[in-house]
Structure 1
Amino acid sequence: MPELPEVEALALDLRGRLDGHAIAAVHLAAFSALKTYDPPVSALSGLLVDDVTRHGKFLDIEASGLHVIFHLARAGWVRWKDEVPALPPRPSSKSGLAVRIVLDDDSGLDVTEAGTKKSLAMYVVRDPLEVPGIASLGPDPLTDDFTPDVLRAILEREGRKQIKGVLRHQGTIAGIGNAYSDEILHTAKMSPYRPASAIVEAGQVEMLHAAIRTTVGDAVDRSRGLAASELKGEKKSNLAVHGQTGKACPVCGDTVREVSFADSSLQYCPTCQTGGKPLADRRMSKLLK
């Protein structure tokens, strides 16, 4: 799933590629991806691209006052094409193509989504705040106003909620997903099940704040300047625990463990994060009964 660092890098890459170009056409290959109707997609034709930015995990292409906004969900991605096919794409669930944006020089980009669970979303709006997911975003963890005091207030408000879920909730902190929440908690040496309020009580807010800024900030720095085609590989090659089940922790050498849920999983190091104790995997426990 693309998270803040990957979407930030995508925005930077596309900003350079789209600068000075006009949108010639926008083709919908998956009509379910479009979540708005006013302005219509046809209103984008002929508009000059002004900027490409990010709001949390939302990618925003601004063109002459309108915004084409994408949420790539779990399996979405953006693929640049130096030359797009002359014929518009046909709707097809097998191709994975959701949207194609064609520029005035016949270059463009394909927005794709793998798998059968279609969650990718596209919005055409006059103001990004018209997108409900953007309007409800929490603070961005890389901005100057995301201070330890802001984080402390969040943790106090969330109370006994597990810190893993607090970090992932976009209305609480914007842009952090499953992978980077695992990485942040490994850096901070905290259990994913730890209550948010316990971090405040232990005087460890500054430690968690530093882990958030360092983990996400370093990922952004590594991704900056990379083309979209290189971002997935860069992310995977720099993860310490997420997706590393059964491998050695790069800090202590213990075996990275996993807890599975219905539609996701988390990874952690027992020595670094839970005092050497494995966390209960509730799904596996049910299977063994």
Structure 2
Amino acid sequence: MFHFKTYSAMMVIGLLAACGGGGGGGPQTVFTYQTFENRVPGTSTIAAAGLTRSAPSGLPDGTEVQVGTLDREPRTLSIAGVIVEGELQSNGTWLGSNGTIVSPSELAVFANTNYDFLLPVTVDDGDFEGNYIVGVVSRTQDLPTDSGTVNYTGQARVDVILGGDGATPGDAFGSDGELTLTADFANGLVDVVIDELNENGMPFDTVRIDDLVISSGANATFERTGTGFTSFASGLTPVEPALGPSTTESASGAFFGGDPNGPVEAGGVFSVNGANGNTIFGIFAAD
């Protein structure tokens, strides 16, 4: 698959010794990431970033990123809080011993994508279904530190439920869009821009999510919760969606795979939750 990463600062190009140890501030080891579909015997570390849901509405109420493993042969998938000992079925889904079903996403925006290290999926725990990105997570020790910013481009889906008053549910709209994810590895931050949200009824055409924090742990995940870091616009005009009081924001994601220059793919989810079931949420993936 062609990778659309662009680099805003000159990168040092050189051959890394097979035994590891790049110079300067680039990745410090040479590590072979097996693709998500690879069946070479062994175990891959997996990250899953998804939208959480709870009763009674079943609407997204936040995001999470969890880490687990994929036993590449026989394809057993286990991710804390998501699926336990999931066995791959003949129809391409995983059935967990906890009853959870993980299946490839049916969202149209991902229908013609072909990522090497990540997979958009739907997680059905028997009560609710949620959208997740799962994949072979990058190691933080392999992140570049001297590359300026790196842009990953891809696809996104954003859904909106607005106008609910507690007695009457709000109106639902949704749109596919284009994604630009900018990684500032030197400062450990990620910015997300989703634009071209042009379907009828959408109250904005652009979403910005700023300053997600890259983990300092072993796995290259990123997250942020709170308020004030998600914004909306229509063209150049800021938009304040009618979410009502008590707005909370959450975004979670991860980098996936890697080559000597760093991660090759990225993906995640976000939600902005107001009162009375009013919410804006989305899922995105890029390379």
Bin the TM-score by the shorter chain: under 0.3
Q: Which has a greater percent of helix?
A: 1
Q: Which structure has more RCO (C-alpha within 8 Å, separation ≥ 6)?
A: 2
Task: Pick the structure with more strand per residue.
Answer: 2
